[in-house]
Amino acid sequence: METVMGNGNGQATSGGRAANAPHSDLVLPYGDQRNDGVVQVSFTLPVAAGPLAEEAARQTMKLMGLEDPQVAEATAIGEEFTFFVGYGKLTRAVELSKLRVAAPMWEELDQAAVNQLVQDTLGRPMVVVGAATGSDAHTVGLDAILNYKGFAGNRGLEAYSAFKVVNMGSQVPNEELVAKARELGADAILVSQVVTERNVHLANLTNLVELLEAEGLRDQVVLVVGGPRITHALAIELGYDAGFGPSTRPQDVASYLAQEVSRRMLN
Amino acid sequence: MRETGKQLVDVVTGSGVRSVAIVGTAKNVGKTVAMNYLVSELSAQGLTLGLVSSGRDGEAIDAFTGQPKPSVTAPQGAWVVTAEGVLRGSGSGLEIADVLGTQGVFGRLVLGRAAEEVALELVGPRSARELSAIVSKLLELGADMVLVDGALDRMAAASPKVTDAVILATGASLDMDLEAAAQEMGFLVWLLSRPEHPVDAVAALAREAVESDKVCFIDACKDTEQRDTQQHTTYVLRITDHPTVLGIEDLILEQAGDAAAVVVPGAVSQAFLDKARAWAKRREFAVIAGDAVSIFATKRPGVDLYVTQPLKLLAVTVNPVNWLGMSHDPREMVGAIGASLMDVGHPLPVFDVVSGEKSTEGVGGMAMG
C-alpha cells in the first residue's frame, strides 16, 4: 500500500504531536525539500562494471522500495565487482504516532550526583566488570566507557569514585567473565559486542545470561550490553537489563547504573 | 488440510500440566506463531490463559533484523504480564490489576486482564526467579494454563523451577542444512531429556547437594565382602567449599577421589565436562546438574550426565522457513526432525502448526486417526 502523502503538515493532526510542530505524523526522508523522499544509497554488486551491472543496480534499488532509481556513480572495483552510488525516492512514510520507542527510565546525572547516589545506596563503590566477550576483539567502545580518559571529553567510569572498574579486555570467554564477577562480587557486568546477522553473536550474548542464571547470579548483577547495533529493546530480548548503542557517553551508563542499583535497593 | 489425530493442543491438554514454556533453538523459529496457535486453540476450549514472556515478544518489528513479526494476541479474559512502557497504543484493551515490583528500562511490569481480544507486545522480568514468581501468580489469579514465551534461544523459561513442561521450537533458521538441523535437534533433545541418576540413593543425595549451593561429591562406600552387589553400597555426600566449577575445573576434579558422582549446583560447562570425561576414563563417574538448562554442553560429553530435576518435554514445533525466506518442504523437515529424535532414543511428536504437518514416529499413543 502506498501511503498518501500530504505536503508539510497536511496530515499532522492524527499523531498527537506537539501543537506547534509543523511536522506531519507521516515522515519521509528529506532530499531537497520536505517529504520529497529522496535518499542516497551506496552498495557493491558482484558484477563486472557495464550496462548489465547498472541495470542490476537499478533493480536492486527498486527492491529496496525506491522509485525512480538512478545510478549516479558506478566504479569498477576489481574485475567482477562494481561499487554504486544511487538516488531514488521513497514513497512510503513512517508514521511517528505508531512508533513505540522505549524512553530511558532514568535521568541524566552529573559525576558528583552519580558518586553521591552510589555512596548513599551502597556505602561503597559499585564493582563493575567489563569485557568484550566471545570472539569479539573490539574494545574501543568498552574502553571509551570504562577508561579514565573516557570519550569526547566525557570521562569514563574509572574517573568516578562511585565505581571500582575491572576491564577484562577482549575475547573473554563467558565462563571467565562469570567466574570473575563471582570472585569480585560484581554489582554490574558490562558486555561489549559487535553483533552481526550471524546468530553466533546473539547466541554468545544469550549464553552469558543463561550462565548467570545457572550460577544463581542473574538477580545480583545489573547486566548491560553495548555495541553498534544494540538497543534497549534488543537488550531486553537478550535478557539484559539495558542496552547502549552508538554515541553513548560514559555519563549515560554511569547515570543508569547508579539509578538502577539504587532502585533495586528500594525494592 | 487439517489432519485428524492428535494435534499440538491435544498434547498440551492431555499432559495435565499447568504451565508450558515455548523456547526456541534460534531466532525466527516460530515461537510466537506456536504460542499464538496454542492461545487460540486453548482459549477455544474455554481455558483461561496466563501469558508472559521471558524477554520481549510480540513487537511489531524485529529489534534485530527489522523484519515484521507476529504480535501476541491475548484473548478476552486472559491474564497478561508486560511492561507499562510498551502499553501505549495497545493498553486500552487491558485492565490493569496489579503493578509488580520489577522495574526495567521499559518501566514497571504490570499484570492485567484482557477486556477484549488485544494484540500486545510482551515484556517479561529479568530473571528466571522473577519469572517463576509471575507464573505462580498467574495460576493463583485463576489462569488454567500459563504459556511462557521464550526469547531468542534462551532456555531459562524451560527450567523446572519456572514451568511444568516445555515445547521446543525449531526450524530452518537453526541450520538451512536439513540434516545438520535434525542432528542438532537430536542432540538438544537428548540434552534436555537428561534423567535423574538411576540409583535412588544417589539421586536423593544429589537433590540435597544442589540445595547446599556447593559443589559436592557422592562417595560410594562398598561393603568389602560383597563388592559387586549394589544393594550393599552406601553413598555419602561430601560437600566442597566451592559454589561453582567455572574456572576451577581441575581444582574440583582433583578432589574427586573415588567419588561415584560430582554434583554441580550451578553451570556445568563444556570445559568441565571435557575434564570430567578424562577423569571418568579410569572409573565409574557421573556428572549431576540441577537441571538440563544449567548444562552448557555443545556435544555429547562422553561421561554419564544426570540432573536432579528433569524437564518434561512435550513436543517440538518446526518452522520450515528461515529468516531469509528460504524454505524446506514442511513434510520433509517434520519427518527429518522426528526421525532424528527417534534415533537418539527420545521420540517426541513434531508439528508444523502452519501447514498442519506432523510426525509422531515412535511416540506411543499418537497414532494418526
Q: How far apart are CA B254 and CA B262, in angstroms?
A: 11
Chain A residues with CB inside 8 Å of B88's CB? 100
A179 touches B: beta carbon within 8 Å: yes
Q: What total of structural domains would you count in chain B?
A: 2
Which chain B positions have a beta carbon within 8 Å of A175's beta carbon? Answer: 246-247, 267, 269, 271
- Kindly report the nearest CA distance between residue A92 and chain B, in angstroms: 15
Give residue A177's pLDDT.
97
Instruction: Say whether A215 and B246 touch across the interface (CB within 8 A).
Output: yes
Strands B313-319, B350-351: pairing is parallel
Shortest alpha-carbon distance between residue B212 and chain A (Å)? 13
pLDDT at residue A16 is higher than 70: no
**Residue from B242, B246, B250, B263 whose CB has the most chain A CBs within 10 Å, to mutate:** B246
Residue B126 and residue A263: Cβ atoms within 8 Å? no
The shortest CB-CB distance from A175 to any of B27, B127, B246 is to B246
pLDDT at B322: 79
A contacts of B102 (beta carbons < 8 Å): 267
CB contact under 8 A, B105 and A267: no
pLDDT for position A7: 33
Boundaries of domain holding B297 = 200-307
Task: Clarify whether residues B113 and B239 are in a common domain.
Answer: no
Q: Choose the final residue of a domain: B267, B284, B307.
A: B307
CATH number of A111-266: 3.40.50.280
Mutant choice from A210, A223, A224, A240 vs B, greatest count of B C-beta within 10 A: A210
Cβ–Cβ below 8 Å for A213 and B156: yes
The pLDDT of residue B1? 42
Q: Do B63 and A237 touch (CB under 8 A)?
A: yes
- B3 in a domain, yes or no? no
Does the residue B280 lie in any domain?
yes
Q: Three-state SS across chain B?
A: CCCCCCCHHHHHHHCCCCEEEEEECCCCCCHHHHHHHHHHHHHHCCCCEEEEECCEECCCECCCCCCECCCEEECCCCEEEEEHHHCCCCHHHEEEEEEEEEEECCEEEEEEEECCCEEECEECCCCHHHHHHHHHHHHHCCCCEEEEECCCCCCHHHCCCCCCEEEEEEECCCCCCHHHHHHHHHHHHHHHCCCCCCCHHHHHHHHHHHHCCCCEEEEEEECCCCCCCHHHEEEEEEECCCCCCCCCHHHHHHCCCCEEEEEECCCEEHHHHHHHHHHHCCCCCEEEECCHHHEECCCCCCCEEEECCCCCEEEEEEECECCCCCECCHHHHHHHHHHHHHHCCCCCCEECCCCCCEECCCCCCCCCC
Task: Check for a shared fold between A12-98 and A111-266.
Answer: no
The answer to whether the CB atoms of B121 and A100 lie below 8 A apart is yes
Q: A105, B266: Cβ pair inside 8 Å?
A: no
Chain A, chain B: beta-carbon pairs less than 8 Å apart: 138
pLDDT at A12: 30
- For domain A12-98, the CATH class is alpha beta
**pLDDT tens for each residue of A34-47:** 889 999 999 999 99
Given a cut of 50, is residue A206 above it in pLDDT? yes
Q: What is the pLDDT of residues A148-199, one digit of tens each?
A: 988 878 999 999 999 999 999 999 999 999 999 999 999 999 999 887 655 6
Catalytic residue among A62, A89, A149, A180: A149
Q: B223 with B85, same domain? A: no
pLDDT for the residue numbered A255: 96
Q: Which of B310, B160, B267 has the alpha carbon at shortest distance from A214?
A: B267
Per the prediction, chain A carries an average pLDDT of: 85
The verdict on B156 and B290 lying in the same domain is: no
Give just the sign of the alpha carbon dihedral A204, A210, A211, A217: positive
- Does a structural domain hold residue B369? no
Task: Give pTM, 2 decimals.
Answer: 0.81
- Strands A163-167 and A188-192 come out as unpaired
Cell (9 digits) for A147: 577508561
Contact A214 B267 (CB under 8 A): yes
Q: CB under 8 Å to A24, separation ≥6 — which residues? A: A6, A8, A9, A10, A11, A12, A15, A35, A93
CB atoms B126 and A219 under 8 Å: yes
Could you say which residues of chain B have pLDDT below 50? 1-3, 367-369
Q: Does residue B2 lie within any of the structural domains?
A: no
The reply to whether A67 touches chain B by the CB within 8 Å rule is no
Is A149 one of the catalytic residues?
yes
Residues B224 and B251 in one domain: yes
C-alpha cell at B148: 511462557
Euclidean distance between CA atoms B201 and A246, whole angstroms: 55
Q: Chain A: give the shortest CA distance to residue B28, in Å.
A: 11
Q: What is the pLDDT of residue A1?
A: 34
ipTM above 0.85, yes or no: yes
pLDDT of residue A6: 33
Q: Taking the domains of chain A in order of start, what are their residue ranges?
A: 12-98, 111-266
Mutation site for B-interface testing, chosen from A194, A199, A200, A222 by largest number of B Cβ within 10 Å: A199
Query: Residue B365 has what pLDDT?
Result: 54
The contacts of residue B301 (CB under 8 Å, 6+ apart) are: B270, B273, B274, B276, B277, B287
Q: Does A102 touch chain B (CB under 8 A)?
A: yes
CB contact under 8 Å between B151 and A238, yes or no, is yes
Whether residue B124 is found in the same domain as residue B39: yes
Q: For residues B134 and B112, is the Cβ–Cβ distance under 8 A?
A: no
Return the residue of B nearest to A216 by Cα.
Answer: B266
State pLDDT tens for residues A219-230: 999 999 998 888
Determine the pLDDT at residue A264: 86
pLDDT over threshold 90, residue A136? no
